[in-house]
Structure 1
C-alpha cells in the first residue's frame, strides 16, 4: 500500500510536469493545425478519393492523441480540471468526436471534427484574453444595444415613410427598410447600390443616409469596440500581477507540491498507525 501511494504520487508529479511543459502545448497545437489541414483536404473530391484511407487513418490517430491528452489532464487535475472553462470546451469537443466517430450522420461528424479547431482558442493566451473580454463586454453592451434598436426603429419608420415609392425594393415596408439599414450599417455597397440611385430622384436623401451612417456605423460601432478594447486592456493589466513573475510561479508551484507532499505523508502516517 505504501509503495503504491508513493508510486502514484511520483507518477502524478511527472505527468503534471509533462502536460504543463511548453513543448507539450506546442505539440498539441501543431497537431490541431494538422487536423485542420486534413479536414480542408477532404473538401477536394479528387484528393479525398485518392487518399481517403490515409486521411481517415491520420484523423483517427490524431483523435486518439487528443483523447489521451484529455485523459492525462483529468488524471492530473481531477475535479479541478472542470473549473476552467477552456478545459470544459476541450472535453466537450473531444467527447463529441468520440461519440460520432462511427456515426452514419456524416454531416454531423464533419461539423464535430471542425470544432476541434476551436481548441486553438485555449492554446493562445491572447485569444483567451480576447474571448474573455468579449464576454465581459456583453453586460455593458445592454445600453448600446438598446440605443441601436431605437436608432434602427426611428430610421426604419422615416425611411419607409419617405422612400417607399421611390425605392420599394429597399424601403417598401418596415422589415425591408430594416434590412436595408443593416446593409448600410455594415457599409456593404450602400453608396452605389442604394444611395446614388435614390439621390437622383430625391436630392435631399443624402441627409438621411449621412446622419444614419455617422450615428450607427461610426458612433455605435466605436462604442462597442471601445468597450471591448477596454476590457481586453483590463485583462492584460490583471495578468501583469505578480503571478506573471517567474519566481512567483516557481514559489507557487513549490507550495502546491509541498501541500501535496504533506497530504501524502498524512496518508502514510495513518497507514502506519493501522
Structure 2
C-alpha cells in the first residue's frame, strides 16, 4: 500500500496525467475539423479509449489509496464525476451529453495544477463580493436604461426604443464594442450633451465596478498564497525539529553504547 501511495502521489505521475489531459484537449480540438476527423476516425477512437481507461485507473487508484479522504476533496469529486460520466455514457446513444463530458475533461487541468486551483478557489471566495457588485451594476443598468429610453427614444429608436433595447445597448457600451462609431456619434450629433450620459456610464460600470471585482479576486488569491506560505513554513519548522530530535537520539544512543 505504501508503494502504491508513493506512486499515485508522485509528482511524475501527476505530470503524466496533466500531459494526457493536454493531449486529450488537443484531440478534442482536432475533432472539430471534419476532414481530419473523418480520415483518422479509428485513431481518434482508440486514443480516446486509452486516455479514458488511464483516467479511470487513476481515479480508482486514488480511491484505494486515499479511501474516505478522497471524497473530502471537492476537486477529487469533480474528477470522479467527469470520468464516471464519460464511462457510463460511452456506449449509449446520448452522444451530445457524452461530448459535454469529454470537453469537461479539459477542466481536469485545473485539478492537476496547484496554481490553477488557487485561482479558482480565489474566484469562489470572491463570489459574495461579486454578487454585491453585480447587484449594484444591475441597479445602475436599470437606471441608465430608463434615462436612455427617456432621452434618446426619438433620436435612436433602434437602440433606445424601450427599456429592453436600452439594456442591450448599454451592455454593448459596457463591453466597449463599437459603441463610439455605432451608437454614440449619431446621437451626439443631435444631442451634444449626451456625452455626459455615455461617459459617466462607462466610467462607473466598465472602469470602477469591474476593477472592484478584479481587485477582490486578486486580494483572495493573495490571502491563499500567504496561508500556503505559512503552512509551508510550519512544515519546514516541524521537519527541522524532527532532524534535531534524531540528532539528540543518536547522541544518546552513542553515549549508552560508550557506557556499555
Q: TM-score, with normalisation over the residues of structure 1?
A: 0.84
The offset of 1:41, in angstroms, is 1.6
Residue 37 of structure 2 is matched in structure 1 by 48
Q: Does 1:234 align with 2:205?
A: no
Task: After superposition, give the CA deviation of every residue in 1:207-239 in whole Å (9 maximum; x if it has no partner).
Answer: 100110111111111111111111111111111
What is the DSSP-based 3-state SS (H/G/I as helix, E as strand, rest coil) of the residue aligned with 1:117?
helix
Write the distance in 2 (CA, Å) between the matches of 1:14 and 1:170. 67
**SS at 1:241's partner residue?**
helix
Deviation of 1:45 (Å): 1.3
Q: What is the RMSD of the two structures over their aligned residues, measured on CA atoms? A: 1.6
Matches within 5 A, 1:1-274: 12-243=1-232, 247=236
Instruction: Give the Å deviation of 1:106.
Output: 2.0
2:21–2:108 CA contact under 8 A, matched in 1: yes
| 1:1-52 Cα distance to aligned partner (Å, 9 max, x none) | xxxxxxxxxxx11111111111000000001111111111211111111110
Instruction: Report if the CA contact (8 A) 1:242-1:248 is conserved.
Output: no
Q: Distance in 2 between matches of 1:76 and 1:249?
A: 25
* Counterpart-to-counterpart distance in 1, 2:239 and 2:97: 44
Q: Is the 8 A contact 1:243 1:249 kept in 2?
A: no
Structure 2 segments unaligned to the other structure (5+ residues): 241-260
Distance 1:211 1:22 in 2: 52
Unaligned runs of 5+ in 1: 1-11, 252-274
- Work out the CA distance in 1 between the residues paired with 2:190 and 2:218: 42
Deviation at 1:140, TM superposition (A): 2.0
Secondary structure class of the residue paired with 1:43: coil
Structure 1 residues 248 and 22: alpha-carbon distance in aligned structure 2, compared to 1, 3 A threshold = farther
